[in-house]
Amino acid sequence: MLFNAGIGLVLMFYSVAEPILHFSNPPYGEGGTIAAAQNSLNLSFLHWGLHGWAIYALMGLSIGFFCYNKGLPLGIRWVLYPLLGDRLKGPIGHFIDTTAVVATMFGLATTLGLGIQHINSGMHYLFGVAENTNVQVILIIIITICATISVVSGLHKGVQILSKVASVMAIILMIFMLIVGPTLFILGSTIQSTGYYLQNLISTSTWMEVYEGTNWMGSWTVFYWAWWFAWAPFVGLFIARISKGRTIKELLLGVVLAPSAVSILWISIFGSTAFHIELFGAGGITAAVNENITTALFSLLEHFPLSYFSILFVLIAGIIFFVTSSDSGSLVIDFITSGGREKTAVWLRVFWALAEGFVAATLVYGGGLIALQTGSLVTGLPVCILMLVLCYSILKALRQYHNDTEINK
């Protein structure tokens, strides 16, 4: 449920596209080389690895601690309780929750918008369906209706069942690629690239392209961090909701290390396979991705047996990921807007599910990828500021909790 609510849908979108784009058009060095391939995976791991999941973990830990250990409602505003106290019951608290809802809506809309472009591309590949914004809006409407039906059944039925199905399908897809692809090359590349990522974690994290005089980070790293921050209230509250009874250690291991490992493994399997085709095989994936980024995964699968069925499999998995993301987003916004109550009216969940689809359709129709990225950038900044203050708040609360525990002993 955690992985599906977090990045499952867009990770399928970028699993081949991002490594290939960094490989062919790197921010530094020569493109299309073996060195570019290794550095490409390093940059992809930076965007999908430890940094992003640490943002989710911090928000989830804070919300869960104040709710389940301090007896406060399940909501975003209460993470600042040590600093603002009961003033959070008034306009200040309403403003924080409203900011969280807006960020969640646009962050989720970005994910759904990218996901629907991926689904539309797959349908074009298989069935010849037109690939344009009108079709994508229609698909959003149809799948949003399906998500609305699922969200009515709640967290432990619709979302949980769909999450299990999507996760199993993702695992099957990884195993399939590992078997039919260049297995030894994939395994070696995964080990080497992961080691390179961990060795250069600090230097890669602090690289600011100051001496290059370029603006590569603006369209990649900065966008990703804004996207992670925009999603933080949504996924953080979802993490807190499903982590009741866990220790802080268990939460950090489960939210930071485990999903990061899965993300790195996923990107490495598909990215390495694409590199092998480009460097030692027939090639053609780079040209396809540069022409249309949404076709990246499908272009890769075309090089292997059973391509029609594997693309159909990816298409079905993408739809389930879409429904799951919309479901969990609706439930989280429902929690926030209802003051932390876990049992709310069905019509309210339905309203938020439809609202998410509407925002995603509006952004896709109004400006496509640029509008989706802009939405995340604008809404991610306030959440970034909130989380900077949150760091001090949770540290103060944990210290006080530790002192109280020692006194009681």
Cβ atoms of 334 and 151 within 8 Å: the answer is no
Q: How confident is the model at residue 4 (pLDDT cuts 50, 70, 90)?
A: low
Residue with tokens 């809506």: 105
What's residue 266's pLDDT?
A: 93
Smallest Cα–Cα separation from 252: which of 72, 60, 1, 49?
60
What's residue 374's pLDDT?
A: 76
User: CA 250 to CA 156: how far, in whole Å?
Assistant: 21
* pLDDT, mean over the chain: 87
Average pLDDT over residues 199-226: 90
Q: How far is CA 184 from the centre of its chain?
A: 29
**112-116, 157-161, 190-194, 331-335 — which one is most confidently predicted on average?**
190-194
Q: Percentage of residues in the chain with pLDDT exceeding 90? A: 45
What's residue 1's pLDDT?
A: 61
Out of 145-154, 223-232, 244-253, pick the least confident. Answer: 145-154
pLDDT digits (tens, 9 = 90+) for 142-185: 888 887 887 776 555 656 777 788 888 889 999 999 999 999 99
Residue with tokens 């409203």: 98
Residues in contact with 119: Cβ distance below 8 Å, sequence separation at least 6, in sequence order: 139, 143, 315, 318, 319, 322
| Cβ atoms within 10 Å, residue 265 | 15
Topology annotation, domain 2-408:
Amino acid/polyamine transporter I (1.20.1740)
**103-107, 293-297, 363-367 — which one is most confidently predicted on average?**
293-297
pLDDT digits (tens, 9 = 90+) for 325-383: 777 777 778 878 877 676 677 788 788 888 888 888 888 887 766 776 777 778 888 99
Q: How confident is the model at residue 16 (pLDDT cuts 50, 70, 90)?
A: very high
User: CA 182 to CA 292: how far, in whole Å?
Assistant: 25
What's residue 74's pLDDT?
A: 82
Q: Global pTM?
A: 0.90
